[in-house]
Structure 1
Amino acid sequence: MGAKLLCLFLASALTAYYIYTPLPEDIEEPWKVMLVTAGFRAVGHLAEVADQLGLMHYMEALMLITSAEYVAPTSDENVTVMDTEFSNVAVRLYLPRKASDGLRRAVVYFHGGGWCVGQAGMKGYDYLTRQTSHRLNAVVVSVNYRLAPQHHFPVQFEDVYSVTKFFLQSSVLSQYGVDPDRVCVAGDSAGGNLAAAVAQQLLEDSEVKTKLKVQALIYPALQALDLNLPSYRQNENKPILPKLLMVKFWSEYFTSDLSLREAMASNRHVPLESSHLFQFVNWSNLLPEELKKDHVYTSPTYGSPELARKYPGFLDLRAAPLLASDAQLRGLPLTYLLTCEHDVLWDDGVMYARRLQAAGVPIVHDHAKDAFHGVMMFVLSPVNLAVGHRLLNRYIEWLNENL
């Protein structure tokens, strides 16, 4: 009996230790967030074990979450939903059933997942895009771009750009009854990165006559030069997206070569000949004083030029929109940019917001002090967070007022 009690006690202590995660005081519903964090941590550990044993790639193991969360395209009384292809790229299309007095609005949406996991058919994304279509009476195109490790940069960008460019053709907009003056690109996390890159690229594309009205960037990743920003430091182990996982996502976006991941983890991946690019991510100049806190800016430590020659993607504007010059930012559409306090990507968003403002781009920067990365995906049972609903509603309401 004593041995059984001891085993029960040890098992209970281990479970409590695994689930309990110190959280900031302003996080609502902390036990729900702890359970979410424990679940993600468990999947991450299992993925690491599977990778070490050679059973499957780390990112492929993480895709098990995506598979478990998948929902088939199901129409309801408000929206017709179907899986199809635009320009040979898989998309999930949402068509509102409510009558419209005139042409409809449209949103082209790119899901998050570090360019390696996720899909338009995940429950959280299906809910977000379905709600967007219904509440805005808008056509929504949610893009299932190809993922790493099977496909590396620039495939992900090329997929979403191809879909956007196809959709913006006057004949396609007319087919779906879309107003060419009321189109938005949007995305969260890696999808926010892709949305920002697409909006920039469209300015340079003389073949595209339709201009975006707005872009919506939800806690976007915008640069891979400096992975030791203050937000990376102070949120290193915060829920959902710890620093090490973000480094894995960034490196895997470009290659499965572990040498790049190791260099990024130590922030020694940028070669000296690319030093001029640091002006665009110099947080000592771009962050407001209250965000710098007690962090001290140090000059970059440069890495071997060989990595940048082999995998130049992390220096490419299509992967790092924050590297665009002021001239390349001018002309971008009205922007909604959401950042979260407890997120390693917070500073990316702040720096981009300030640079857009300086370039004369109209922007609304919405900062959530009580939120963490990916929070808008946690709006369905069994993890239904009030803060997720609040931010999702703010995003849709902003679109309703501005698109």
Structure 2
Amino acid sequence: MGARLLCLCLLTALLGYYIYTPLPEDLAEPWKVMLVSAAFRAVGHLSEAADLLGLMHYMEGMRLITVLELVAPTPDENVTVTDTKFNNVPVRLYLPRRAPGGLRRAMVYFHGGGWCLGDAGMKSYDHISRRISNELNAVVVSVNYRLAPQHRFPVPFEDVYSVTKFFLQSKVLSQYGVDPARVCVAGDSAGGNLAAAVAQQLLQDPEVKTKLKAQILLYPALQALDLNLPSYRDNDNKPLLPRSLMVRFWSEYFTSDPALREAMASNRHIPADSGHLFQFVNWSRLLPAEMRKAHVYSGPAVGGAGLAREHRGFLDPRASPLLASDARLHRLPPAYILTCEHDVLRDDGVMYAERLRAAGVPVTHHHAKDAFHGAMMFVLWPLDLAVGHRLFSTYMDWLNENL
């Protein structure tokens, strides 16, 4: 009996140690955040072990998060929901049931997950898409683009671009009763990356006549040139996206070569001929003083010549929209950018907001000082968070007024 009690106490202590994560003081509902963070870390550790043992690829293990969250495309009294294909790419389509009362708004949405995880049918994405469709009387096209590492860059971009271009055709917009002057692209995290890249690419495409009304970028990943920004340093181990995982997402997007991941981890992956791009990620100029803090700027280090020649995809603006020239930015549609203080991707969004404003693009930048990466997705019981509800409400208000 004594031995069992001792084992129980030890297991309880170990569980408590595993769950406990030091959190910033301004994060509300810390125990709930800790539990969510612990669950993510547990899946990550199991995936890493399975990868090391040769049982499965790390990202296949991580997709357990996606599988557990999937829900069927079930219609309700407000919205018709169907899984279909646009231009041979799977999408989940949300159509309001109410009488339109005129042409509707529309959103083409790209889910997050580091280009390796996620699905339009995950419970949180499904819930949010339903609410947008119902409350804004909008058509929502949520895209299930192909994922890395099976399908690396530029395949995910090509999928979302193909869907957007297809949807923006006059005959398709007319079929769904959509006002061509009220269409936006949107996405979170890696999906925000794709939304920004799509908005840029549409401007270069003479076949596309419909102009976007807006681009919505929720804590987006926008560049892989400098992975040692102040936000990467300050939020190295914050929930739910530690620096090591973001580096892995970036590297898996481009190659299976572990050399790139190792170089990215040490911020020594930049080709020698890419110095002219540093101006676009120079955080000493683009970040406000309160985010620069006491950090001293040093540009990314130049990597090995062979590595630089072989893997250059991260220098393509379709993968790193922040690297687009000022001339390319100035014709972009108005932007809504959400950034979170406790997020490795914070500075990407802040710098993009600054560059867009400088290029003359109207920008609404909502910076949540008490939030972490992915916070807006936590709006469903039992993992709903007050900060998630607040961010979503602010987002909906902006859409209602600006789309």
What range is the shorter-chain TM-score in? Answer: over 0.9
Q: CA deviation at 1:306?
A: 1.9
Q: Which residue of 2 aligns with 1:261?
A: 261
Query: Which string of whole-angstrom CA distances, capped at 9 and with x for unpartnered residues, describes residues 196-235 of structure 1?
Result: 0000000111100000011100000000000000000000
The CA RMSD measured in Å over matched residues stands at 0.7
Aligned to 1:9: 9
Who is 1:77 aligned against? Answer: 77
Aligned partners of 2:306 and 2:77: how far apart in 1? 56
The 5-angstrom pairing of residues 201-212 of structure 1 reads 201-212=201-212
Q: Which residue in the other structure is 2:65 paired with? A: 65
Q: Does 1:108 align with 2:108?
A: yes
Q: For residue 401 of structure 2, what is the amino acid of its counterpart?
A: E
Partner residue in 2 for 1:350: 350
Deviation at 1:308, TM superposition (A): 2.9
For residues 365 and 100 of structure 1, what CA distance do their matches in structure 2 show? 31
Give CA deviations for 1:138-190 in whole Å, capped at 9, x if unaligned.
00000000001110000000000000000000000000000000000000000
Q: Is the 8 A contact 2:226 2:299 kept in 1?
A: no
| Match in the other structure for 1:284 | 284
Deviations 1:361-386 (A, max 9, x none): 00000000111001122111221111
Partner of 1:41: 41
Q: Does residue 1:299 correspond to 2:308, yes or no? A: no
The answer as to 2:156 corresponding to 1:152 is: no
1:3-402 to 2 correspondences below 5 Å: 3-402=3-402
Alpha-carbon distance between aligned partners in 2 of 1:376 and 1:284, rounded to the nearest angstrom: 29
Q: Give SS of 2:63's match.
A: helix
Count of residue correspondences: 403
Give the whole-Å Cα distance in 1 for the aligned partners of 2:279 and 2:375: 31
Q: Distance in 1 between matches of 2:301 and 2:310?
A: 19
Aligned partner of residue 249 in structure 2, secondary structure: helix
Unpaired segments ≥5 residues, structure 1: none
| 2:47 counterpart letter in structure 1 | A
1:67 Cα deviation (Å)?
0.7
Letter in 1 for 2:282: N
Q: What CA distance in whole angstroms lies between the structure 2 residues aligned with 1:5 and 1:95? A: 57
In 2, Cα distance between equivalents of 1:71 and 1:397? 27
After superposition, the C-alpha distances for 1:28-78 in whole angstroms (9 at most, x for unaligned) are 111100000000000000000010011110001111111110001000000
Deviation per residue, 1:320-356 (Å, 9 max, x gap): 0000111000111111000000000000001000000
CA contact (8 A) 1:29 1:385 kept: yes
Letter in 2 for 1:142: S
Whole-Å Cα distance in 2 between the matches of residues 162 and 132 of structure 1? 23
Aligned partners of 2:193 and 2:222 also within 8 Å: yes
In structure 1, how many angstroms separate the alpha carbons of the residues matched to 2:321 and 2:285?
A: 18
State how far apart, in whole Å, the 2-side matches of 1:300 and 1:121 are.
Answer: 38
1:305 CA displacement: 2.6
Q: CA deviation at 1:129?
A: 0.8
| In 1: Cα distance, 2:308 partner to 2:97 partner | 49
C-alpha displacement of 1:309: 2.2
Shift of 1:5: 2.2
List gaps (5 residues or longer) in structure 2.
none
Residues 264-299 of structure 1: CA deviation (Å, up to 9, x unaligned) = 000000011111111100101111112110100123
Structure 1: distance between partners of 2:218 and 2:384: 19
**Is 1:270–1:305's contact at 8 Å kept on the other side of the alignment?**
no
Offset at residue 304 of structure 1 (A): 1.4
Given that 2:263 and 2:269 are in contact with CA atoms closer than 8 Å, whether structure 1 keeps it comes out as yes
Q: Shift of the alpha carbon at 1:2?
A: 2.5
Q: Which amino acid aligns with 1:272?
A: A
**What is the deviation of 1:311?**
1.9
Q: Helix, strand or coil for the counterpart of 1:384?
A: coil
* One-letter amino acid matched to 1:276: H
Equivalent residue letter for 1:318? R
